[in-house]
Structure 1
Amino acid sequence: MRSISLFSGCGGLDLGLHDAGFKTVLASDFEGLCAKTWRQNMPATPFVVGRIGDLTRSDLTSQLGGKIGEIDLIAGGPPCPPFSKSRFYLKDKPRALDDPNGWETINGYLNMLDWVRPRGFILENVKGLAYKVHADALATIIERAEKLGYKVSTAVLNAANYGVPQIRERCFVVGSLDACIELPKPTHSNDPTSSLLPWVTAGDVLADLDTEENASDEGHFAGGQHNGLLQQVPPGDNYLYFTEKRGHPEPTFKWRGRYWSFLLKLSPDMPSWTIQARRSNNMGPFHWRSRILRISEIKRLQTFPDAFALAGTVEQQWRQIGNAVPPLLAAAVGRSVAEAIGAPLRDAA
């Protein structure tokens, strides 16, 4: 099955879709660094660098050898800041489709649907897209897709419920020209049953990476001036440990006086919290050994292959992984789409 990737980033969504039986025939992103990452991992895929608002149907045609042909899927996650939780605190910036970038990316995605008319589509974004305050934006996406003949489904999926060792909630909007897509049912749970496996934990996937041989790696100092406090935070806790409300004998912070990820530390017995796009020395999640996570570790928490190569500095590599869809979650969604469009399914194993 042939797919076109938009807002491709480093390719997390596409890696999962490949496991579900799709082949990316064209990828695109505004950031040239992502093209370098693709060339290291998927060199046969044509990659267009540019804003989606500048791409035309003729650009697609020329990149695909003069003919678009039948496309089974368009998939992509438009940049999330206009719909993110952090935008609620930035009162001077517009939200959702009132943000020019938000409008350009969503409108550009919908224009691609109109030009290409794939059998199905996947649009992924932060959970905030499903918030009531963004109802107009979500309605615009659904209505325009339905006018093009797509049967549309939406849901917020937690990556941890699909075997990803990370609590990461994302909104998926999917559509098919053939049959209504039933988004995948959870395979894992924090309350496992006979039919649901337990959540995969950070300890499950990171333990073998934290050896004595690499324990003294430089460049992973965390906490800044608060490093001493971070050392005292119990695994699975954050700065709230040092508040009067939590009963600390010498409170340092006010209750909810900082952002929730301040001095946030992983527990080896739980999935990670959401890996952010920015590497920080005071905003976690941090390793339970009170240090910044390594690139090899956030790849594990995002279910990227260990051998996956990333272009750029450590901070640039982190941003690419942090912005990505976990491939394991993408594969689950991809199999649901493949089933709805009547394509033969590959073995999920």
Structure 2
Amino acid sequence: MNGRTAVELFAGPGGMTLGLHAADIHGTGIEWDPNVVATRRAAKLPTIHADVRNHGPRDFPDATVLAGGPPCQTFTVAGNGTGRDELDRVIDAVKRMGDRQTIDPREFADERTALVLEPLRWVLEDFEHSYNTIILEQVPQALPVWEAYADVLRQEGYSVATGTLATEQYGVPQTRRRAVLIAQLVGEASLPAPTHRPYRKGQPQHEGDPRLLPWVSMGDALDRPTPFTVVSNYGTGGDPKNRGRRTSSEPAFTVTGKISRNRIIDASGAELPRFTADWPWAGNDIPQQIGNACPPALAAALAHATRQPLRAAA
């Protein structure tokens, strides 16, 4: 069951793509942001610079895997919140799509909210083949959307699993939670089992479930000669003066597009230089690209969890 071909929507700078590659899934990514496209092309990742709304499954007839992470700006707590405010309407739109009704993006206060519906359009569009595998991820606030997707996809013959995963439990040196959906036409869909222990403030790496690996710290992941502390740009407990802190012996905070506002200091409080990322970042707004990227280790865990027998050819 090797060599599956994917079409990746909202492809981003390559996090999901690398995860798919780890499970021998290769294909093409669609991305509209020219800066992100520049990074993908610098990384030699097959990319179409386009709006996913202007394409459909007929353009990728060989794809058996559909993957993607729709933009989260209207759902995340760091965004404008219009997607969260209209969550009931989004779920209703998912149900109507299951009844083969067309959804007008102008139904929503921010048209970016409607982008979360695009993967379902690709699945349901009248075409001579269906995707064997679907892998989707978003911010935790969008989990009810994936659950509504699941109801529709089950009616289409898919087995579906949804849930919220903690990235540090899959070897990511960062505490980040993601709402995910995995759907399979053959076999039972399931979410990946954690491989690493959950991070708990004040609990050492060596403590916890002995069946799981220790969580990965920033110091473990980065080649830095001395310990350091990251001071968050966010205030703890709603107090903007009470900045959160993580030492290099802990995982990073959730990485957002505002990562450049974080401070990095040594034990004396002196500022330290920024880290050099081992990825061919290109274009502008690189902090935003980094914040929007799906962690590759999480994407790999999701992709490996879909290793089910493929349908027999018609």
Are the aligned partners of 1:120 and 1:341 in contact in 2 as well (CA < 8 Å)? Answer: no
Paired residues in the alignment total: 275
Amino acid at match of 1:312: G
Correspondence for 1:7 among 6, 10, 32: 10
Structure 2: distance between partners of 1:239 and 1:100: 27
Q: CA deviation at 1:38?
A: 1.6
Structure 2: distance between partners of 1:113 and 1:239: 39
Matching residue of 1:310: 281
Q: Deviations over 1:255-279 (max 9, x none)?
A: 63339xx633321121111111224
Task: Work out the percentage of aligned pairs sharing the same amino acid.
Answer: 26
Amino acid at match of 1:287: I
Root mean square deviation of aligned Cα = 3.1
Correspondence for 2:195 among 178, 181, 187: 187
* TM-score, with length taken from structure 2: 0.76
Stretches of 4+ moved more than 6 A in 1? 236-240
Matching residue of 2:119: 109
* TM-score, with length taken from structure 1: 0.69
Structure 2: distance between partners of 1:92 and 1:10: 24
Structure 1, unaligned runs of 5 or more: 62-67, 212-233, 241-252, 300-305, 344-349
Structure 2, unaligned runs of 5 or more: 91-107, 200-206
Task: Describe the shift of the 1:57–1:74 C-alpha distance in structure 2 as closer, same or farther (beyond 3 A).
Answer: closer
Q: Deviations over 1:79-121 (max 9, x none)?
A: 012221235x757995443454344312221111124621010
Correspondence for 1:86 among 71, 78, 82: 78
Correspondence for 2:34 among 32, 46, 50: 32
Once the two structures are superposed, the pairs formed by residues 215-226 of structure 1 within 5 Å of their partners are none
Q: Secondary structure at the match of 1:266?
A: strand
Q: Secondary structure at the match of 1:269?
A: coil
Q: Kindly name which structure, 1 or 2, has the bigger radius of gyration based on alpha carbons.
A: 1
Matching residue of 2:100: none
Task: Describe the shift of the 1:276–1:57 C-alpha distance in structure 2 as closer, same or farther (beyond 3 A).
Answer: same
Are the aligned partners of 2:75 and 2:84 in contact in 1 as well (CA < 8 Å)? Answer: no
The reply to whether residue 203 of structure 1 matches residue 219 of structure 2 is: yes
Are the aligned partners of 1:295 and 1:318 in contact in 2 as well (CA < 8 Å)? Answer: no
Could you say which structure has the higher helix fraction? Answer: 1
Correspondence for 1:123 among 136, 150, 155: 136
The reply to whether residue 52 of structure 1 matches residue 55 of structure 2 is: no
Are the aligned partners of 2:75 and 2:81 in contact in 1 as well (CA < 8 Å)? Answer: no
Q: Deviations over 1:125-165 (max 9, x none)?
A: 011113xxxx3x33432233223321110011111011111
Once the two structures are superposed, the pairs formed by residues 229-308 of structure 1 within 5 Å of their partners are 235=229, 256-258=238-240, 263-281=243-261, 284=262, 286-289=263-266, 291=271, 294=274, 296=276, 299=277, 306=278, 308=279
